[in-house]
Amino acid sequence: MGKLKFILALWMAKLSIPALKITHHSGTDFPGNLALKICPDFLRYVGRPKTIVAITGTNGKTTVSNMLSDILESNGYRVMSNRAGANVASGIATTFIRSCGLFGRISKYDIAVLEVDERSSVKVYPYVTPDFVAITNLSRDSIMRNAHPDFIAGILTSTIPASTKMILNADDLISCGVAPDNPRVHFGIDRLPTDVTACVNLINDMRICPKCLGKLEYEYLRYHHIGKAVCRDCGFHSPDSEFLARDVDFENHTVTIRENGQDYAYPLITDNVINTYNILTVITTLRQLGLEPEAIRHSLERTVIDTTRYAQEKVGKVTLVKQMSKDLNAMAGSRVFDYISHLPGQKEVYLMMNNMGDAANWSENTCWLYDADFEFLNRDDIVQIVCAGPRALDYKLRLLMAGVPEEKIACDLSEEKAAELLRFTPGDDIYYLYGADAWGLTNRMYDYLKKLALQRAADKEVQQ
C-alpha cells in the first residue's frame, strides 16, 4: 500500500511540474508538498544516488552546500542538490521528484548534496540516511523557532542515523556534542593573532563543562563559544582537529591545512573567519569523498563565494556598503557589528534589520536585540547610527544601553525619513544593515540610499 501511495504521490507531483512552469511558479516546493501530503513517508521510497551528503547548522549551510556542489560538478560528479529550492522537507522532496524517473529511480546523479534545515531533520533523516552530515556550527538563532542551540543539537542527535559519519567543527563544542556515538571527523582553525581568552560577547553558550559543570576555560576564543576549551576540573577539552587550518593569511589569501601530519596549501577566498570555517567544512567534506588536495585547490582557485549578502560601491562622495544581518538572530547581528567595527574608515550605520512579516500582523519579539552585541557599534569611528523602521525606537534604547552617545543616534519609523537623517559626509562609508525577510523593501531602500548619496554629493558640489 505504501509503495502504491508513493507512486501516486510521485506521479501527481511530477504532473504538477509542467503546470507550475506554465503558471510561472516553477521555483516553489509545491511538488514536494503535494507528494508529502499524499504520502507522508515519500522520502522513504524514493530512490537515491550512491552517496548523500547533508549540510546543516545555524549559519553557513547555503554557502557550504553551494561551494560543495560547484566543486564536485567541476570535478566531474553528477550532483543532485536542493540549491534551487528550500531546505525543509518539502524542498528536499521536490529535489528528489525533479531528479528521479517515473518509478522513483535516480540514475542521473552520483551524489546528492542536501542543505537541511536543522528543525526539518525530524522529517528527513528517518527516511533519507546521509553518508555524511556536516554541521557548520550551532549557535543561537531565532528564539521563536529554534529556542536555543541545545534544543537543536538534541533534535539532530535523535534523528541522525547511527551509521552517518559526522563532519564537525572542533572549535564549536555545541555541534561536537551531536550524535556522540557516530563516527566523526573534525576540522578547526589553529590559534589566530586576533583570538582572546575571555569572552567579550553577550552570548557564550558553552560556559560550563558538559561533563562536570566546572567553568570552561578557553585556550583561545574567537567569538561567542567558538574556540578551544578546556575544563581544569575534570580535564575535558575540545576535540583535536584531523583537518587543522594553520597559517591563515587573509592578506595573501592562503591557508595551510594539516591532515595526517602533512601540510597542504589551499587558496583562501575570503577575508573573514566565518567564511574560513565554511571553506574548511567544504575541504574536509571533499576529502571524505575522496577528492585529492590538488583537485580541491584547483577548484577553489576558480570559486567565488556568493556575495549577495554583501556588496559595496562608491556612490557620490561616499561608499555604500550593503550587508545582510539576519533579523531575529543575535549571533548574526553580533558578527556583522564586530566585522564592521574592525574595518577602517569613518562610518555611518543605517539599521533596518526589522522583521517586516511580524511588523505587519504581529509585533516583533525584540529579545534578540538584548543578546546581540550592539556594544561593538560604540566606537569613535562610527559617527552616526540611524535606526529605521518599526523597531527604530527599540534599537535606539538598545544602543543607549550599549553606551552609544545619544547625539550619534537618529531614528524614524519611516525607512525613507530615517534614510534622510544620514549625514552622507564625504569620504564616509555608509553601512546599510538589512534583515532577510523583505527583499522588496531592502532593494527599494538601497536605491533610495543611492539616490540620496548622489543628491547630497551634488548639493556639496553646489555649495563649493
Partner 1 sequence: MRVEILYPEICNLCGELMNMRYLKQCCPDMEVISTDLKSRPVFLDEAVDLVYLGSTTEKGLQLVVNALTPVKDELTAKIDAGQRMLVTGNALDAIGLDVTSDDGLKFDGLGLLPTHARYQMMRRHNSFFLGKFGEDITIMGFKSLFGHTYDAPEENGLFTVTRGVGRNPASSLEGFRRGNLMATYLTGPLLVLNPDFTRWLLREMGFVCEKLAFEDAAMDAYRQRLTEFSDERRNPIG
Nearest to 133 by CA among 109, 114, 154: 114
Q: Do 158 and 196 touch, CB atoms closer than 8 A?
A: no
Nearest to 149 by CA among 136, 160, 162: 136
* Cβ at position 55, least distance to partner 1 in Å: 22
Name the residue nearer to partner 1 (CB basis): 5 or 417: 417
Which ranges constitute the DSSP H helices of 23-52? 30-38, 42-45
User: What DSSP state is assigned to residue 196?
Assistant: B
Name the residue nearer to partner 1 (CB basis): 254 or 414: 414
* Cβ at position 403, least distance to partner 1 in Å: 10
- Per-residue binder mask for partner 1 (CB under 8 A), 252-281, x = binder: ------------------------------
d(CA 36, CA 28): 14
Does residue 385 bind partner 1 (CB under 8 A)? no
Name the helix (H) or strand (E) containing 462: helix 439-463
Q: Do 393 and 387 touch, CB atoms closer than 8 A?
A: yes
Name the residue nearer to partner 1 (CB basis): 119 or 456: 119
Does residue 383 bind partner 1 (CB under 8 A)? no
* Cβ at position 351, least distance to partner 1 in Å: 14
From candidates 361, 427, 462, 463, binder to partner 1 by CB under 8 A = 361
From candidates 107, 194, 363, 455, binder to partner 1 by CB under 8 A = 363
Name the residue nearer to partner 1 (CB basis): 391 or 450: 391
| Contacts (Cβ under 8 Å, ≥6 apart) of 346 | 381, 383, 425, 427, 428, 429
C-alpha cell at position 144: 521563536
Q: Which amino acid is at 39?
A: C
- Per-residue binder mask for partner 1 (CB under 8 A), 149-168, x = binder: -xx-----------------
Does residue 370 bind partner 1 (CB under 8 A)? yes
- Per-residue binder mask for partner 1 (CB under 8 A), 186-205, x = binder: ----------------xx--
* Cβ at position 225, least distance to partner 1 in Å: 12
3-class SS at 51? strand
From candidates 178, 324, 330, 351, binder to partner 1 by CB under 8 A = 330
Q: How far is CA 205 from the centre of its chain?
A: 18
Q: What sign does the dihedral 100-106-108-113 (CA atoms) show?
A: positive
Number of residues that bind partner 1 (CB under 8 A): 36
Instruction: Write out the binding residues for partner 1, residues 122-141 only, by CB under 8 A.
Output: 122
Distances 80 to 66, 106, 113, 129 between C-alpha atoms, Å: 11, 10, 6, 15
| Interface residue list for partner 1 (CB under 8 A) | 119, 122, 143-145, 147-148, 150-151, 202-203, 207-208, 213-215, 330, 358, 361-363, 365-371, 393-394, 396-397, 400-401, 406, 413
